[in-house]
Amino acid sequence: MKFPGLGLRLPECAWRRGSSWLLLAPLLTPPVPVITAPPCSLCPEGAHRFQWIRNLVPEFGISSSHVKVLSSPAEFYELLKVQIKTAKQRVVMASLYLGTGLLEQELKQKHYLRPLGKPDLGRFLMLECKFHSRVDCLEETLEKSLQAKGSSNLKVSILLDYTRGSRGRKNSRTMLIPLLQRFPEQVRVSLFHTPNLRGLLRLLIPERFNETIGLQHIKVYLFDDNVILSGANLSDLYFTNRQDRYVLLQDSPEIADFFTELVDAIGDVSLQLQRDDTVQMMEGMVHPYQGDKVAYCEIANRRVMEVINSARTRQELLHAKTFHSSQRGSSLLSQQGSQASGGLKTEPDTWIYPLIQMKPFGIQIDEMVTETLLTEAERDARIYLSTGYFNLTQAYMDLILGTRAEYRILLASPEVNGFFGAKGVAGAIPAAYVYIEHQFYSEVCYLHQQERVQLQEYSRAGWTFHAKGLWLYLAGSDLPCLTLIGSPNFGYRSVHRDLEAQVAIVTENKALQQQLHQEQEQLYLCSGVVSSSTFEQPNRYVKLWVKLVTPLIKNFF
Identify whether 85 is a catalytic site residue: no
Q: Which of these is catalytic: 155, 219, 359, 438?
A: 219
Determine contact, residues 481/437, Cβ cutoff 8 Å: no
All residues at 6 or more sequence positions from 425 whose CB lies less than 8 Å from its CB, including other chains = none
The dihedral through the CA atoms of 178, 179, 183, 189 has a sign that is negative
Q: What is the dihedral of CA 56, 62, 65, 68, to 10 degrees?
A: -30
* Collapsed DSSP state (helix, strand, coil) of residue 128: helix
Identify whether 217 is a catalytic site residue: yes
Identify whether 132 is a catalytic site residue: no
Q: How many whole angstroms separate alpha carbon 513 and alpha carbon 224?
A: 26
Q: How many whole angstroms separate alpha carbon 227 and alpha carbon 229?
A: 6
Q: Which of these is catalytic: 224, 225, 251, 264?
A: 224
How far apart, in Å, do the first and last CA atoms of the chain sit? Answer: 23
Q: How many whole angstroms separate alpha carbon 67 and alpha carbon 508?
A: 13
Return the closest-CA partner of residue 260 out of 309, 237, 226, 302. 226
3-state helix, strand, coil in the chain (%, to 5): 45, 20, 35
Q: Which of these is catalytic: 48, 130, 155, 217?
A: 217
Determine contact, residues 393/440, Cβ cutoff 8 Å: no
Beta strands in 359-499 (DSSP E): 363-364, 382-386, 406-412, 453-458, 464-465, 469-473, 482-486
* Residues classed as catalytic: 217, 219, 224
